[in-house]
Amino acid sequence: EGEDEAVGGRFVPPGLPADG
């Protein structure tokens, strides 16, 4: 939410699929 790589409010490190 308003952050890089942020999906569904959770942080998704680069290289991992964006779940959420």
- Residues whose CB falls within 8 Å of the CB of residue 19, separated by 6 or more in sequence, listed in order: 7, 8, 12
Query: What's residue 9's pLDDT?
Result: 61
The per-residue pLDDT string of the chain (20 residues; one tens digit each, 9 = 90 and over) reads 555 555 566 666 777 676 65
Side chain identity, residue 18 = A
Query: What's residue 15's pLDDT?
Result: 75
9 touches 1 (CB < 8 A) = yes
Query: What's residue 19's pLDDT?
Result: 61
Query: What's residue 6's pLDDT?
Result: 52
pTM: 0.12
